[in-house]
Amino acid sequence: MLQPRKTKYRKVQKGRMKGNSMRGNQLAFGSFGIKTLDTAWLTGRQIEAARQAVTRYMKREGQLWIRVFPDKPITKKPAEVRMGKGKGAPEMFVARVTPGRILFEAEGVPLDIAKEAMRLAAQKLPVITKFVVRRDYVEETI
């Protein structure tokens, strides 16, 4: 499960996510990627499920980069607990994503394989995504 080894604070406030992604919105490593068009919290489980879907479809050839990391602790109170008595215990970690953020990047596989792999990854995520290709990408014909 993706989560930080150590955090400065055990519990954080909810916060607001408005606007588009100002960073992490360009392909930096691979030729293909998926970009989110929504604002959401992605849990470590969702990111891991998407990663597994991509690597299985690509048959572990090529390379995959995960561009988001769940670093925000989310707390929950147990079921059927009365109101008050403080904030609940940390339950999981999430990554905040806003529109335009690149979630995954891939390299070293043909366009059609990358497109299908990213489609499978997108099915595991709670956001609407868009497949993106590097601007100077040229498909090699052998």
Looking at residue 114, what is its pLDDT?
Answer: 96
SS3 label, residue 65: strand
Looking at residue 141, what is its pLDDT?
Answer: 62
Total domain count for the chain?
1
In a domain, 18, yes or no: no
In which band, very low, low, confident or very high, does the pLDDT at 71 lie, cut at 50, 70 and 90? very high
Do the Cβ atoms of 54 and 118 come closer than 8 Å?
yes
SS3 label, residue 28: coil
Domain hosting 114: range is 32-77+89-133
In a domain, 14, yes or no: no
d(CA 21, CA 32): 18
In a domain, 123, yes or no: yes
Q: What CATH number should be reported for the domain holding residue 118?
A: 3.90.1170.10
22-68 pLDDT, tens per residue? Answer: 999 999 999 999 999 999 999 999 999 999 999 999 998 999 999 99
Looking at residue 85, what is its pLDDT?
Answer: 94
d(CA 89, CA 23): 31
In a domain, 139, yes or no: no
Looking at residue 41, what is its pLDDT?
Answer: 97
Q: How far is CA 66 from CA 89, 95, 125, 139, in A?
A: 28, 12, 13, 23
Looking at residue 140, what is its pLDDT?
Answer: 73
d(CA 121, CA 36): 12
Looking at residue 137, what is its pLDDT?
Answer: 87
